Chains A and B, each alone.
Chain A
């Protein structure tokens, strides 16, 4: 696995906020590689810098210093429009609060990334339908988010993340707003996606959720505390089953 080119390669990345003339390090000297078909959890308490790291990995934000290569391309030198294109084509986001557009039906929410990719209407609908089927919601296509349960909303969001067939799926506390049963269902869905060949990065502060991943990176005070394979993965999965 390590002989391949990493999807994500960050080197000595720092993120500094200036507040009231004081420099605050949200991230300091972070380096890591993520390879295709990895299932990585980024763990840490709130304020640890894991959200900042996720924003940088997701090209929603840019590092203050350091190097970030996405599929070998230097993100730091990219224009706003190029970053938008990376987010559109290479990254599928799943958020804690689902972040669906309230006014649009499920299928239109799923189609949205394809709209920005310039995909034709008929093709868009076909791909969205396929993604909805893969999360088990082919009978909820025309429902609006407020007509769906929390678990169903998160499934729509996952379908939206999958629809462009991205290089990585970036999930930020995906079970944070769900009860534990529904959360478990969603985590099983991620597991299936990983088994189907997707690369998944999971950001969470919950140990039990992190245990679904095959590699756990622990963040504390803006730096990587540990980065190791998940030795308890099997027991976690037997729990879930």
Chain B
């Protein structure tokens, strides 16, 4: 293949597309739809991944929570229900005894509480009772104000650190610090706001409020609720040591006999990967189905129009062959044309997706920080390559037919 033939083919391709604008546009529609699905699917998957990473970081990659429940074990809830609660005495003993973690602390929560500010109320709030050390975990990072101190925990101070959504709903002007809200009829002073961390995976996390552990017990009591033990390993390399010690120590505290399964669960942020991978798979499945279907239709359309183009230009093929064009030259010319047709389709799809994505983010996901408002650049590259491959596939049979024409027959064609 000579370079001059390649540039010549490219030139003729552009002229050919240009002279059949409407036809090219209609032909490429199937490919446009296919590429649109490729881009939208890629965009959603990337959003999912971002959401996943954010969620994992919210909880902290070096965190282990010992609970009565297993976070990802929805199907076995009966078994978890029947487990004995982890009481304060057990949690405190664990935290006192464990030596591998950087921090280990008991936490406790009350779901479905109501928070009131003046005459506004929000329900469905989870109240977390945590010690002051919670400030050193990823989940306790305060953007505004401060976390409560050990002293405040010690004398049951009525102070509260509120989640992002709570702050946003009750104090849209951003003046929450120093205000008083009521939890279970008790007044609490707001001293801090936790940064926004939730995505659709952990959306409840921004609807939490944090009060000192002992204040919590004072208001909600200690009986009838199972505590969590929040453990910060300090580093990911220390996780395995912590896991081993946590299981051993907890079995001992909970009197699990040798050979008997544990009656508690170790939960880690990595468990969200399973949840997300199911979502990923279904997005993939639907996406691949739609993509293949539209490419199938698109390829048929392009193959068809390329047959028309080859027939229309039989005479031209004859002339070119008489002037010395080899089979490969003719093949290249028509493959290039089909590929260019699909590439134009890809360009249209980029424009369309950019508009749709920008609009969708603006209208439906305006507060999402995991979906990008533009088409991710690597998807442009992928879609371009895919479009060219589709074009070559679609153009192959017509191009071979063109290349194989006998010059004498092609020249005679009128």
Residues on A close to B: CB < 8 A? 55, 58, 60-61, 80-81, 84-85, 87-89, 93, 95, 99-101, 103-104, 112-121, 124, 160, 164
In the complex, the answer to whether A116 meets B325 with C-beta atoms within 8 Å is: yes
Q: Which residues of B contact A104 (CB under 8 A)?
A: 12, 15
- Selected from A93, A118, A124, the residue in CB contact (under 8 A) with B323 is A93
Q: In the complex, which residue of chain A has the Cβ closest to the Cβ of B404?
A: A80
Q: Which residues of A contact B315 (CB under 8 A)?
A: 99
Shortest 7 CB-CB contacts between residues of A and residues of B = A88-B324, A118-B2, A116-B324, A61-B408, A60-B408, A84-B326, A60-B407
Given contacts A61-B406, A112-B320, whether A103 and B12 have CB atoms under 8 Å apart is yes
Against A, the Cβ 8 Å flags (1 = close, 0 = not) of B204-225 are 0000000000000000000000
In the complex, the answer to whether B5 meets A87 with C-beta atoms within 8 Å is: no
In the complex, the answer to whether A60 meets B411 with C-beta atoms within 8 Å is: yes
In the complex, the answer to whether B4 meets A81 with C-beta atoms within 8 Å is: no
Residue B196 CB within 8 A of the other chain: no
Q: Which of chain B's residues 2-29 have a Cβ closer than 8 Å to chain A? A: 2-5, 7-8, 12, 15-16, 19
In the complex, the answer to whether A55 meets B323 with C-beta atoms within 8 Å is: no
Q: In the complex, which residue of chain B has the Cβ closest to the Cβ of A111?
A: B8
Q: Which residues of A contact B8 (CB under 8 A)?
A: 112, 115
Given contacts A60-B411, A103-B15, whether A112 and B323 have CB atoms under 8 Å apart is yes
Give Cα A236–Cα B329 distance, bound, in whole angstroms. Answer: 43
Give Cα A61–Cα B321 distance, bound, in whole angstroms. Answer: 11
29 contacts between A and B (CB under 8 A): A55-B408, A60-B406, A61-B406, A61-B408, A84-B321, A84-B324, A84-B325, A87-B407, A88-B323, A99-B315, A99-B318, A99-B322, A101-B316, A103-B16, A103-B19, A113-B323, A114-B4, A115-B2, A115-B4, A115-B5, A116-B320, A116-B324, A116-B326, A116-B329, A117-B2, A117-B324, A118-B4, A120-B4, A160-B323
Q: Which residues of B contact A101 (CB under 8 A)?
A: 316, 319
- Max chain A C-beta neighbours (<10 A), residue from B7, B15, B325, B326: B326
Interface on chain B toward A: helix, strand, loop, or mixed SS? helix
Q: Which residues of B contact A55 (CB under 8 A)?
A: 408
- Interface size range of chain B in the complex: 20 to 34
Q: In the complex, which residue of chain A has the Cβ closest to the Cβ of B12?
A: A103
In the complex, the answer to whether B3 meets A118 with C-beta atoms within 8 Å is: yes
Residue B187 CB within 8 A of the other chain: no
Give Cα A60–Cα B323 distance, bound, in whole angstroms. Answer: 10
Against A, the Cβ 8 Å flags (1 = close, 0 = not) of B15-59 are 110010000000000000000000000000000000000000000
Q: In the complex, which residue of chain B has the Cβ closest to the Cβ of A85?
A: B324
Q: In the complex, which residue of chain B has the Cβ closest to the Cβ of A59?
A: B407
What is the CB-to-nearest-CB distance from A119 to chain B, in angstroms, rounded to a whole number? 7
Q: In the complex, which residue of chain B has the Cβ closest to the Cβ of A119?
A: B4
Interface on chain A toward B: helix, strand, loop, or mixed SS? helix
Give Cα A113–Cα B4 distance, bound, in whole angstroms. Answer: 11
- Selected from B5, B12, B15, B19, the residue in CB contact (under 8 A) with A116 is B5
In the complex, the answer to whether B5 meets A81 with C-beta atoms within 8 Å is: no
New A-B contacts (17) at CB < 8 Å, excluding given A60-B411, A117-B324, A118-B4: A60-B407, A81-B327, A84-B321, A84-B324, A87-B321, A87-B322, A88-B323, A95-B411, A101-B316, A104-B15, A112-B8, A115-B5, A116-B323, A118-B3, A118-B5, A120-B4, A164-B324
- Max chain A C-beta neighbours (<10 A), residue from B4, B323, B324, B326: B323
Q: In the complex, which residue of chain B has the Cβ closest to the Cβ of A117?
A: B324
Give Cα A93–Cα B407 distance, bound, in whole angstroms. Answer: 13
Q: Which residues of B contact A85 (CB under 8 A)?
A: 324, 326
What is the CB-to-nearest-CB distance from A52 to chain B, in angstroms, rounded to a whole number? 9
Q: Which residues of B contact A58 (CB under 8 A)?
A: 322
Against A, the Cβ 8 Å flags (1 = close, 0 = not) of B302-340 are 000000000000011011111111111100000000000
- Max chain A C-beta neighbours (<10 A), residue from B15, B318, B329, B411: B411
What is the CB-to-nearest-CB distance from B402 to chain A, in angstroms, rounded to a whole number? 14
Give Cα A199–Cα B83 distance, bound, in whole angstroms. Answer: 104
In the complex, the answer to whether B323 meets A89 with C-beta atoms within 8 Å is: no
Give Cα A113–Cα B2 distance, bound, in whole angstroms. Answer: 13
Given contacts A101-B316, A103-B19, whether A121 and B321 have CB atoms under 8 Å apart is no
Q: Which residues of A contact B319 (CB under 8 A)?
A: 99-101
Q: In the complex, which residue of chain B has the Cβ closest to the Cβ of A92?
A: B323
In the complex, the answer to whether B326 meets A121 with C-beta atoms within 8 Å is: no
Q: Which residues of A contact B324 (CB under 8 A)?
A: 84-85, 87-89, 113, 116-117, 164
What is the CB-to-nearest-CB distance from A106 to chain B, in angstroms, rounded to a whole number? 15
Give Cα A81–Cα B324 distance, bound, in whole angstroms. Answer: 9
- Max chain B C-beta neighbours (<10 A), residue from A80, A84, A89, A118: A84
Q: Which residues of A contact B411 (CB under 8 A)?
A: 60, 95, 99
Given contacts A103-B15, A116-B5, A119-B4, whether A81 and B326 have CB atoms under 8 Å apart is yes
In the complex, the answer to whether A60 meets B4 with C-beta atoms within 8 Å is: no
Q: Which residues of B contact A160 (CB under 8 A)?
A: 323
Q: Which residues of B contact A60 (CB under 8 A)?
A: 321-322, 406-408, 411
Q: In the complex, which residue of chain B has the Cβ closest to the Cβ of A160?
A: B323
Give Cα A103–Cα B411 distance, bound, in whole angstroms. Answer: 17
Give Cα A95–Cα B414 distance, bound, in whole angstroms. Answer: 14
Give Cα A101–Cα B19 distance, bound, in whole angstroms. Answer: 14
Q: Which residues of B contact A87 (CB under 8 A)?
A: 321-324, 407
Give Cα A2–Cα B178 distance, bound, in whole angstroms. Answer: 116
What is the CB-to-nearest-CB distance from B48 to chain A, in angstroms, rounded to a whole number? 48
